[in-house]
């Protein structure tokens, strides 16, 4: 069994994979101040409950990468495979500075091998990313503030506006403060997604491009969009698994 770890700015998603399939997932909060020992006590029940033989980490938070590496080196005597230089991904990076491309983006693109030759990926996480790939070549991305941090910025800067639960209201025009904020945040995010998809398709002159959605907030936004989006909940982990399998083949 392989333990897949996707470290994002808001959450750490752990996946257990066997026979090329993700069997189970777990989520932890990404906390910069946590020590490796604190992460160890969170992860230990998973490690003790399942026959894990290998570990691979994709991360956009270096300090958490270091803490997790210490967990496995200090407590289990094993060094996890970490996305970075020397790791085969199967993804070409056709951008100005390939070194700046996040591991999460590379995993998202890798996941589409065998699913779509050409596609847009909308990754709705801490940031909202609009990724364009063709034949496993990453051609670029648009990055916008994520839904949660946009709402937090609104609440922090507007004294009379409260933080609200992200639940879709029944109407676009709100009749109280809570539904008004929910409408603006969620319908506004869906409209941004639709608008960006349309602009990318127009720029590429490709009206029939497939669009995939992933990320922690995709389940909320996809039903509100007018474009057709294929929701793949564990897309980043699927890509990480494909990268792991590719590197195992390279070692044979």
**One digit per residue, pLDDT tens: the chain, 252 residues?**
999 999 999 999 999 999 999 999 999 999 999 999 999 999 999 999 999 999 999 999 999 999 999 999 999 999 999 998 889 999 999 999 999 999 999 999 999 999 999 999 999 999 999 999 999 999 999 999 999 999 999 999 999 999 999 999 999 999 999 999 999 999 999 999 999 999 999 999 999 999 999 999 999 999 999 999 999 999 999 999 999 999 997 665
Answer with the one of 82, 114, 141 that is the final residue of a domain. Answer: 82
Q: Let me know the angle formed at the C-alpha of 180 by 177 and 185, rounded to the nearest 5 degrees.
A: 125
Integer Rg of the chain from CA? 19
Residues 6 and 24 in one domain: yes
Q: Judge whether 10 is annotated as a binding position.
A: yes
Q: Judge whether 114 is annotated as a binding position.
A: no
Q: Judge whether 15 is annotated as a binding position.
A: no
Give the CATH number of the domain where residue 152 resides. Answer: 3.30.420.40
Number of neighbours of residue 155 by Cβ within 10 angstroms: 15
Residues 115 and 64 in one domain: no
Is 34 within a domain? yes
> Which listed residue (19, 96, 97, 104) is catalytic?
104
CB-based contact 215:124 (threshold 8 Å): yes
Residues 194 and 126 in one domain: yes
Residues 63 and 105 in one domain: no
Q: Judge whether 8 is annotated as a binding position.
A: yes
Is 252 within a domain? no
Give the structural domain span for 225: 92-239
Catalytic site includes residue 104: yes
Taking the C-alpha atoms of residue 16 and residue 94, their distance in angstroms, rounded to an integer, is: 31
């Amino acid at each position: 069994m392989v333990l897949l770890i996707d470290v994002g700015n808001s959450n750490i998603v752990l996946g257990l994979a066997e026979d090329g399939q993700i069997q189970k997932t777990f989520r932890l909060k990404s906390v910069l101040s946590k020590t490796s020992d604190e992460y160890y006590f969170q992860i230990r029940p998973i490690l003790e409950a399942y026959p894990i033989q290998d570990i691979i980490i994709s991360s956009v938070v270096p300090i958490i990468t270091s803490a997790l590496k210490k967990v496995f080196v200090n407590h289990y005597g094993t060094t996890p495979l970490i996305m970075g230089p020397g790791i085969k991904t199967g993804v070409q990076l056709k951008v100005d500075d390939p070194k700046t491309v996040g591991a999460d983006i590379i995993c998202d693109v890798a996941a589409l091998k065998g699913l779509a030759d050409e596609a847009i990926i909308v990754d709705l996480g801490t940031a909202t990313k609009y990724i364009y790939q063709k034949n496993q070549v990453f051609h670029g991305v648009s990055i916008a503030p994520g839904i949660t941090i946009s709402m937090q910025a609104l609440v922090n800067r507007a004294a009379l506006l409260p933080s609200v639960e992200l639940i879709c209201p029944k109407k676009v025009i709100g009749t109280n403060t809570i539904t008004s904020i929910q409408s603006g945040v969620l319908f506004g995010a869906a409209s941004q997604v639709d608008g960006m998809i349309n602009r990318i398709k127009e720029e590429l002159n490709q009206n029939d491009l497939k669009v995939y959605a992933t990320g922690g907030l995709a389940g909320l936004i996809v039903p509100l969009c007018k474009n057709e989006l294929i929701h793949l909940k564990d897309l980043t982990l699927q890509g990480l698994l494909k990268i792991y399998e590719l590197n195992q083949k390279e070692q044979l």
